[in-house]
């Protein structure tokens, strides 16, 4: 049983690949596992354990249930985050280890097939050596070969420097992964077909505000606030209502962070459906489609023929 009583299918035990720790290659999983649809590969590249559930839970659960190969590349283990209601942190090593395990539990609930950790430190991601981390992410992209990549937008949700950094590094790494001149001996180029940024419109924003009152962070002495996006900026809207309970179950796996999320417990089922039952994105680029018609599928425009291995 999972975090709030959800049953787990053995097919959805995530493979863990601790492949890089601050630039040192440690281990890269080469295990195989059953896949229903080899042509649909979706990769989320985010900063902290819980980003995958709070920001993308409905989406990842939906595509995993539909047979897509879903993977998560996590930049940090959230070492500087809260540790439940503890007044004093037990230390970054304990917090990181605990939060990493919570991520693995959430991944089981969502149906994520692979979880990989880059091994950078929470709060310092924007100070990571750019060339190093971009190349590391690029190698993961080449190895996993996603057709679609998801990450934060340039505003980092609410101005969080780690979110902004992973957005920038991810975008650059996609270009690097396709560059035939990069690492030509040990890996092959891979072209990501579509990149999406997470965003939310006012209806979702209003429920977030009801739960969190104010989503903000203070950087260099200046307060940064989250904001809703105008409807016209939303290029892609997914119906994930069938998976809102799965997303909420995954969020609850992050027990160390529930002190922050306690107001979510007070939301009505209807409000939960608004938060997790609809996911919205900005399509940064697509090599397979375009136009202003709102997408209802992240894989829109992608066919098996396009996804012949390069």
- Report yes or no on 159 lying in a domain: yes
- Is 114 a domain residue? yes
Q: What pLDDT sits at residue 24? A: 44
Contact criterion met (CB below 8 Å) for 133 and 45: no
238 found inside a domain = yes
* Closest of 90, 82, 160 to residue 125, by C-alpha: 160
Q: 207, 213, 205, 249: which is closest to 229 by C-alpha?
A: 205
3-state secondary structure the chain: CCCCCCCCCHHHCCEEECCEECCEECCCCCCCCCCCCCCCEEEEEECCCCHHHHCCHHHHHHHHHCCCEEEEEEEECCCCCCCCCCCCCCCHHHHHHHHHHHHHHHHHHHCCCEEEEEEECCCCHHHCCHHHHHHHHHHHHHHHCCCEEEECCCCHHHHCHHHHHHHHHHHHHHHHHHCCCCCCCCCCCCCCCEEEEEECCHHHHHHHHHHHCCCEEEECCEEEECCCCCHHHCCEEEECHHHHHHHHHHHHCCHHHHHHHHHHHHCCHHHHHHHHCEEEEEEEEECCCCCCCCECCCCCCCCCCCCCCC
Flag whether 165 is in a domain. yes
Distance separating alpha carbons of residues 140 and 132, to the nearest angstrom: 13
**What pLDDT sits at residue 38?**
43
Instruction: Round to whole Å and give the CA distance between 54 and 212.
Output: 13
What is the structure's pLDDT at 32? 33
309 within domain boundaries: no
Phi-psi domain of 105 (left: phi exceeds 0; alpha: psi -120 through 50; beta: other): alpha
Q: How many domains does the chain have?
A: 1
Q: Is residue 122 part of a domain?
A: yes
**For residue 158, what pLDDT is reported?**
87
**Residue 66: how many other CB atoms lie within 10 Å:** 14
Q: Residue 195: inside a domain, yes or no?
A: yes
What is the domain-level CATH number for residue 33?
A: 3.40.50.10320
**What pLDDT shows up at residue 226?**
86
Query: From CA 245, how far away is CA 228, in angstroms rounded?
Result: 24
pLDDT of residue 15: 61
pTM of the model: 0.87
Low-confidence ranges of the chain (pLDDT < 70): 1-2, 4-38, 85, 87, 303-310
| Class of residue 275 by CB neighbours under 10 A (exposed 0-12, middle 13-18, buried 19+) | buried
Give the residue numbers spanning the domain of 26.
10-286
Q: Tell me the pLDDT tens digit for each residue of 88-129.
A: 778 889 999 999 999 999 999 999 999 999 999 999 999 999
Give a yes or no: residue 206 inside a domain: yes
């Amino acid at each position: 049983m999972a975090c709030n009583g959800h049953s787990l299918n053995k097919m959805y035990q995530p493979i863990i690949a601790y492949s890089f720790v601050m630039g040192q290659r440690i281990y890269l999983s080469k295990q195989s596992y059953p896949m229903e649809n080899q042509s649909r590969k979706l990769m989320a590249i985010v900063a902290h354990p819980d980003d995958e559930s709070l920001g993308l839970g409905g989406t990842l659960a939906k595509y995993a249930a539909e047979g897509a190969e879903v993977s998560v590349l996590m930049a940090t283990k959230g070492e500087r985050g809260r540790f439940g209601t503890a007044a004093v942190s037990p230390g970054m090593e304990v917090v990181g280890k605990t939060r990493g395990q919570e991520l693995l539990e959430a991944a089981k609930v969502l149906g994520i097939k692979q979880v990989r950790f880059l091994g950078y430190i929470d709060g310092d991601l924007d100070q990571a050596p750019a060339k190093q981390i971009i190349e590391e992410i690029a190698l993961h992209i080449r190895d996993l070969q996603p057709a679609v990549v998801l990450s934060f937008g340039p505003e980092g949700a609410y101005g969080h420097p780690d979110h902004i950094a992973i957005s920038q590094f991810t975008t650059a790494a996609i270009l690097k992964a396709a560059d035939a001149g990069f690492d030509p001996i040990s890996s092959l180029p891979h072209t990501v077909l579509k990149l999406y940024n997470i965003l939310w419109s006012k209806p979702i924003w209003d429920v977030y505000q009801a739960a969190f009152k104010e989503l903000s962070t203070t950087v260099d002495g200046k307060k940064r606030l989250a904001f809703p996006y105008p409807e016209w900026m939303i290029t892609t809207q997914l119906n994930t209502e069938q998976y809102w309970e799965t997303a909420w179950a995954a969020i609850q796996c992050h027990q160390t962070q529930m002190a922050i999320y306690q107001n979510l417990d007070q939301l009505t089922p209807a409000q939960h459906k608004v938060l997790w039952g609809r996911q919205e994105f900005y399509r940064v680029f697509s090599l397979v489609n375009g136009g202003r018609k709102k997408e209802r599928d992240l894989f829109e425009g992608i066919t098996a023929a396009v996804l012949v291995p390069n």
